[in-house]
Structure 1
Amino acid sequence: MGEYLSALANAACLAGKPRGYLIFGIDDRTHKITGTTFDPYKTKGKGNQDLHLWLSLGLHPNVGFDITEVHHPEGRIILFSIIAAWDRPVKFKGTAYIRVGSSKTELAKHPELERTIWTFRTDWSAQVCETATIDDLEPNAIIRAREEYVKNNPKKKDEIPGWDDITFLNKAGLTIHGAITNTALLLLGRAESSSLLSPAVARITWILKDEKNQELDYYHADPPFLLQVDEILNKIRNLTIRVMPSGTLFPDPLDQYDTWVIREALHNCIAHQDYNLRGRIQVIETPDNLILTNLGRFLPGDVQTVIMQDAPLEIYRSPFLAKAMVSLNMIDTEGGWH
């Protein structure tokens, strides 16, 4: 079963689908419901482990899967739904598998398919959340989005008020033909709607630590990120320090941190986070430092590569999200977003 989950995750990637499915209780050829006695909740993996846990531990990277039990009038059905591989093959117990026709085989026997998976990148931020509607977006966030959009498009200032919300969201690059994307939920979604992004995690955590690295305070910020970034900024204790310029005895007051730099760093953490890794963005404040972290491989490979080429990166992990953030005045184009 673990090998099949690996094969289906990799096959879904090659097919450009968000998930692969393993179904018990339906005939392969006729698709007639036959029912099944298989119980994934009672079946054990090796070492008497819970089956779901045992399979999850065997998958690398652990892309995640769901088990659904359907009680149909014609028979009981068990559905395994596994997230597609992304930029690398999914292995089970160290070996990657693939579906070729109706057969399962080792991916290593098909190097051309393996190469395709390694170079395949699905933009998670552009995916449509099928169950989401405009009611899952925060009205105040939409109002703020309109305000920021006007700043970036002053020539349309008189035209924008005549757009209904769906028209505005389409033009701002947050929805696709009115369908709610992961980007729309991330930037404008209600806090309780963040569960629609599961298994991805949409959260920014601010942590305050003392000089002994002991935690003093914390704050969790869930969507809408368009509004929550200001909440995070207000949590940061940006102390006023005094510096003595050369040639005078009168000190100048300065903020400990330039808010423009905080804006750039935090917004770029949102834009570059790999949400498939199910982690949170962290803002850690110490007496002497402000550390911002997000999850995801550095796409150029290393900083030296970026410095040596002296040019913006040609690819981005979430181009749909980045473009939407540009339209909402969250990030700028000078850094090479376009």
Structure 2
Amino acid sequence: MEFKEASNDYDTDKLGKYFSALCNEANLRNCERAWLVFGVNERHRRVVGTGYRSQQDRLNSLKDQIARGTSPSVSLRNIHVLQTVEGRVVLFEIPAAPRGIPIAWQGHYYARAGDSLAPLSLEKQDTIRAQTARQDWSAQVVPGATLEDLDPDALHAARASFVAKHANRLDANEMLAWPLSIFLDRSLVTQDGQITRTALLLLGKPESSWRLSPHPAQMTWSLEGPERAYEHFGPPFLLATTALYRRIRNVQMRLLPHDELLPIEVAKYDQKAVLEALHNCIAHQDYSRDGRIVVTEWPDRLVLDSEGTFFEGQPLDYVPGHQRPRRYRNTFLAHAMAGLNMIDTMGYGIHEMYQAQARRYFPLPDYDLSESASVRLTLYGGVVDPAYTRLLMQQTRLSWEDVLALDRVQKKLPLPDEVISGLRRKKLIEGRKPHFHVAASVAAATAQRADYIRTRAQDDAFYAKLVTDYLHEFGQANRKDINALLLGKLSEALSLQQRHTKIGSLLTKMRRQGLITNGGSDAVPRWQLTERSESNSHSSKRSNPNSS
């Protein structure tokens, strides 16, 4: 913290030097911010008031000036103006330099030597640049926090979970008899009795969450659809995840297997999968981004959004259940949650969520990492393709790789060519790229035959036979007649434009094969059978007297 009188004005270049110095010093002292205060006597720490940039717009313009003069570009986090009896005070909130990156002003690095400005020494520059080790946000001790900031109900639940987790190697009565401070240290929630951010997140009283400011410790449930509602949930997160889960409308759903009279009843959402997803959001959220966890409930799915990139690998790496994470964004928090039986630290969580969905015959979860600094997880609570669902009911020996591939087929997602070839060999899919769907033998078994026939593409010989039969019956047809004949019979997987193109290609192919001829013009065609087609049709009639 630096105090300046700045009675009427202050040199912007000098202010920029102090900005660089305080950024770098805050970094070296492991602080989140530093302060430059105008209107206070530097020696006696008395408020004397300042007239520095008394117009608000001029004061705010300083942010842009600082951003342009610093390298890499950073700016003031906030500018606070305090009106006191003794006079006006301006407080500049200065962010700490990012780890590993010292901040320069006009190309020069600054530091403080006592109360004075000085060049940032090479030793200090090397110290900042050597900060390759990442700081664990969740492990930091919260100044001023005590055991009184922890929620009694959460502490009781935490001890019960810890005992259940470790009952196979520690005596339950002994664990229950531990003093509170010993239990919290042993469960990796506190450090030598000091309250950490992890302790406040998992076990803190709601009214103590201000101690984590400006980082919002909050989860939000939002209901979207015909009805709309929302609710915010703060610490203790150990209890809040269950409270949020109870807001979700988890009704029983009835799925009817083929050729059976009794339906299978499954919950819309698997409780363990939902809580696993929520706990993963808590464990891996990037809290330094000052964002909340948002759970949006749609009529047919849950969408969970959390801040921060997927930290170790890619989600699909963990689906088979063999991948093990080597590091965590919030190591201290992850270990505490594992000790309280909220998560595991072996990478099984995603695998279990996918397995839970497959066991319930529902679409598999989807991860969306398209946003540069956030993760979106979708948990489905309804059927996307009935054929896929009934296939899982009937063919219980499908390989996990086939289940994953068929899930992508039902969601119309791309697949590698080698996977497509494998599904074709097993007769699990049909159709032309990219319009794949469940194969006929499977779709028929789903009791959704009518829906399947509407989407299945026939071969060209089938459509050509319809055209020749029509022309034999009525003598000729224009393009409007042919469209009326074929549009409703082409696969509904094709768009209207694609169906029109398909009909044009079919007529061209039949003309080249000598089956039909155009007795009109290109603009106004009049299609007729050729003599060869007429004779073939008459021969077919004579050989089949019952054809009429």
Tell me if structure 1 keeps the 8 A contact 2:26–2:32: yes
Tell me if structure 2 keeps the 8 A contact 1:90–1:96: no
Task: Note the C-alpha offset of 1:315.
Answer: 2.3
Question: What is the SS of the residue equivalent to 1:229?
Answer: helix
Task: Note the C-alpha offset of 1:39.
Answer: 3.9
Map of 1:99 onto structure 2: 110
* C-alpha separation in 1, matches of 2:91 and 2:281: 35
* C-alpha separation in 2, matches of 1:193 and 1:322: 21
* C-alpha separation in 2, matches of 1:302 and 1:164: 41
Q: Deviations over 1:289-328 (max 9, x none)?
A: 1001111133347658889xx7433221110111110111
Letter in 1 for 2:26: A
Q: What aligned pairs does 1:225-304 form with structure 2 within 5 A after superposition? A: 225-300=237-312
Map of 1:330 onto structure 2: 342
Task: Note the C-alpha offset of 1:156.
Answer: 3.0
State which of 205, 208, 213 in structure 1 corresponds to 2:223: 208
Tell me if structure 1 keeps the 8 A contact 2:149–2:205: yes
1:169 aligns with 2:180: no
Q: What aligned pairs does 1:146-161 form with structure 2 within 5 A after superposition? A: 146-154=159-167, 155-161=170-176
Q: Deviations over 1:158-204 (max 9, x none)?
A: 21122111111111111111111111111111111000111110010
Task: Note the C-alpha offset of 1:2.
Answer: 5.6
Q: For the structure 1 residues 297 and 61, does the alpha-carbon distance in structure 2 shift closer, same or farther, using more than 3 Å as the test?
A: farther
Tell me the matched-pair count. 321
Task: Note the C-alpha offset of 1:135.
Answer: 0.7
Structure 1 alignment gaps of length 5 or more: none
Tell me if structure 2 keeps the 8 A contact 1:26–1:77: no
Map of 1:132 onto structure 2: 145
* C-alpha separation in 1, matches of 2:323 and 2:199: 30
Task: Note the C-alpha offset of 1:252.
Answer: 0.5
Task: Note the C-alpha offset of 1:20.
Answer: 3.6
* C-alpha separation in 1, matches of 2:316 and 2:260: 40
* C-alpha separation in 2, matches of 1:135 and 1:233: 27
Q: Deviations over 1:207-233 (max 9, x none)?
A: 00006xxx6111110111111111100
Tell me if structure 2 keeps the 8 A contact 1:43–1:50: no
Map of 2:196 onto structure 1: 181
Q: Which moved more, 1:266-275 or 1:247-256?
A: 247-256
* C-alpha separation in 1, matches of 2:220 and 2:327: 27
Task: Point out the structure with max Rg over C-alpha.
Answer: 2
Task: Note the C-alpha offset of 1:61.
Answer: 6.8
Tell me if structure 2 keeps the 8 A contact 1:175–1:184: yes
State which of 303, 306, 316 in structure 1 corresponds to 2:328: 316
Letter in 2 for 1:237: R
State which of 48, 58, 83 in structure 2 corresponds to 1:48: 58
Q: Which moved more, 1:260-269 or 1:80-89?
A: 80-89
Q: For the structure 1 residues 98 and 131, does the alpha-carbon distance in structure 2 shift closer, same or farther, using more than 3 Å as the test?
A: farther
Question: What is the SS of the residue equivalent to 1:159?
Answer: helix
Structure number with higher relative contact order (C-alpha < 8 Å, ≥ 6 residues apart): 1
Question: What is the SS of the residue equivalent to 1:290?
Answer: strand
TM-score normalised by length of structure 1: 0.77
Tell me if structure 1 keeps the 8 A contact 2:218–2:293: yes
1:8 aligns with 2:18: no
Map of 1:122 onto structure 2: 135
Task: Note the C-alpha offset of 1:90.
Answer: 8.4
Q: Deviations over 1:237-295 (max 9, x none)?
A: 11211112345232100011111111111001011111111111100000111001111
Tell me if structure 2 keeps the 8 A contact 1:7–1:97: no
Q: For the structure 1 residues 209 and 137, does the alpha-carbon distance in structure 2 shift closer, same or farther, using more than 3 Å as the test?
A: same
State which of 185, 193, 199 in structure 1 corresponds to 2:208: 193
Q: What aligned pairs does 1:69-80 form with structure 2 within 5 A after superposition? A: none
Letter in 2 for 1:231: A
Question: What is the SS of the residue equivalent to 1:282?
Answer: strand
Map of 2:44 onto structure 1: 33
* C-alpha separation in 2, matches of 1:56 and 1:124: 27
TM-score normalised by length of structure 2: 0.50
Structure 2 alignment gaps of length 5 or more: 1-14, 350-548
Q: Share of identical aligned residues, percent?
A: 36
Higher helix share: 2
Letter in 2 for 1:199: P
Q: Deviations over 1:98-145 (max 9, x none)?
A: 5346457799xx99677545x452211111111111111111110000
